[in-house]
Chains A and B, each alone.
Chain A
C-alpha cells in the first residue's frame, strides 16, 4: 500500500540531488538562467531598444550585464535609471517573463526597482487576523 509513498520519497531524494547538482553548475552555463532570472527579478520594467540606442547607452558608460554575453545569440542587457529610459522615445515595453517575447529581443534596457517597500507588504493593512494564542 505504501509503494506510492516510497516512490515519492525516492523522487524527493532525487530532487535533492538535482539541487546540489544545480548549485555546482552555478558558475557554468547552466547557472546562466539563475543569473538571468535574478537580473530580471530585480527589474521593474524592461524595454526593447534599437541597436543604435543600445550603442549610444554603452558610449554613455552604461555597462552591458555579463549574463547577456553568456547567451547565444548574445544579448545586450543594460540596467539604466528610469530618467534615462524616459528619454528613449522608440523603446518598446516587454513583459518581464522568461518567454519568447523577451528572449527574442537582442537589445534590452532594464529599469531597476526603486527603494524597497516597507515590510511586511500587508495589503490588508491593520486588519490582521485575530491572534487566538
Chain B
C-alpha cells in the first residue's frame, strides 16, 4: 500500500484529495502499521472542484495506466503496486449518485461521500497521506448500500474505524447522524445490527470479539434518534 501511495503522491498533494475506503483503518493505526484490513486497491476521493488539478497531477504519476474498461481505475504496470480507484466527492445532495463525465478521468460521484471532510494527515513512511474525518467515513460506509461480500467488507471497515477511533469522533458521528433523515438513520442502525451479528472474514477485524463496541455505538445512536 505504501508503495502505491508513494507513486500516487502528486495526486495526494492536491488540496481536498483524501484516501478513503478500506485502507483508512490501516493508515490510522500507529505508524500506519496496516494490520487491520487486507485490501485490493487504494480508493482516492476527488472533490469535483479538484478534478482538473488531479488530472494534471496524474501526468506525474508513474507505474499506472487508466483501465480501458473503467477509466476511473488506474491499473498498475507491475505487481509491486495495487490499483488506484478514483471516486468523486460531491458537495450537493448526499443521497444522489451520478457519473461525472470526463474523457480522461470520469468519476462515479457517490452521494454519501459528501459526508466526508478533510481530517488528519498521517505520516506513512515519510509520506503525508490525507485522510477524511473518521466520523464522516463511518456514516458513508454505513450508508453506501452494497450487497454480499462487498457489503460485509464495508461493515468490517466500519469496525476497523471504530477500533482506531479517537476522542471526539463519537460526538462528530452523532452530530452527523442527527442530521440524517429518519430512513437513513434507520439504515445506519440496521447496518450496525448486521455488523454485530457477522462472523469473521479473513484479513478483516473479527466482529465476534468486538460486539460490545458495536452495541455501545448502536445504543448511542438510538439515544440520538430522539
> Which residues of chain B come closer than 8 Å to A121, judged between CB atoms?
162-163, 165, 210, 213
A sample of 16 more A-B contacts (CB under 8 A), given A34-B193, A129-B120, A129-B164, is A5-B99, A12-B111, A18-B145, A22-B186, A23-B183, A24-B183, A37-B196, A41-B196, A41-B197, A42-B218, A96-B197, A120-B165, A120-B169, A122-B164, A129-B123, A132-B122
Q: Which residue of chain B has the shortest Cβ distance to A113 in the bound complex?
A: B215
Distance in Å from the Cβ of B43 to the closest Cβ of chain A? 14
**8 Å CB contact of B190 from A15, A34, A120:** A34
A26 to B98 alpha-carbon distance, docked (Å): 28
A84 to B186 alpha-carbon distance, docked (Å): 33
Q: Which residues of A contact B (CB under 8 A)?
A: 1-2, 4-6, 8-9, 12-13, 15-16, 18-20, 22-24, 26, 34, 37-38, 40-42, 44, 96-98, 113, 116-117, 119-124, 127-133
Q: Which residue of chain A has the shortest Cβ distance to B168 in the bound complex?
A: A120
A24 to B182 alpha-carbon distance, docked (Å): 10
A37-B190, A37-B196, A97-B199 known; A117-B122 Cβ under 8 A: no
Q: Which residue of chain A has the shortest Cβ distance to B32 in the bound complex?
A: A129
Q: Which residue of chain A has the shortest Cβ distance to B129 in the bound complex?
A: A132
Q: Are the CB atoms of B193 and A124 closer together than 8 Å? A: no
> Which residues of chain B come closer than 8 Å to A42, judged between CB atoms?
215, 218-219
Q: Quick one: CB contact mask for B195-215 with A, threshold 8 Å, 1 for yes?
A: 011110000000000111111
A34 to B192 alpha-carbon distance, docked (Å): 10
Distance in Å from the Cβ of B218 to the closest Cβ of chain A? 6
Q: Are the CB atoms of B216 and A119 closer together than 8 Å? A: yes
**8 Å CB contact of A122 from B68, B128, B166, B199:** B166
Q: Are the CB atoms of A9 and B99 closer together than 8 Å? A: yes
- Decide yes or no whether B226 CB sits under 8 A from chain A: no
Within 8 A of A (CB), among B114-149: 120-123, 128, 143-146
Please, how many residues of chain B have a CB less than 8 angstroms from a CB on the other chain? Answer: 62
A119 to B138 alpha-carbon distance, docked (Å): 15
> Which residues of chain A come closer than 8 Å to B194, judged between CB atoms?
37
- Decide yes or no whether B78 CB sits under 8 A from chain A: no
Question: Which of B3-11, B23-31, B52-60 binds A?
Answer: B23-31
- Decide yes or no whether B101 CB sits under 8 A from chain A: yes
Distance in Å from the Cβ of A82 to the closest Cβ of chain B? 14
A117 to B214 alpha-carbon distance, docked (Å): 11
Q: Are the CB atoms of B193 and A37 closer together than 8 Å? A: yes
Q: Are the CB atoms of A8 and B108 closer together than 8 Å? A: yes
A129-B29, A133-B121 known; A96-B97 Cβ under 8 A: no
A78 to B82 alpha-carbon distance, docked (Å): 49
- The 3 lowest CB-CB distance pairs between A and B, nearest first, are A37-B193, A23-B183, A12-B97
- Decide yes or no whether B64 CB sits under 8 A from chain A: no
Q: Are the CB atoms of A4 and B192 closer together than 8 Å? A: no
**8 Å CB contact of A2 from B30, B106, B212:** B106
Q: Are the CB atoms of A129 and B101 closer together than 8 Å? A: no
- Decide yes or no whether B72 CB sits under 8 A from chain A: yes
**8 Å CB contact of B193 from A8, A23, A38, A129:** A38
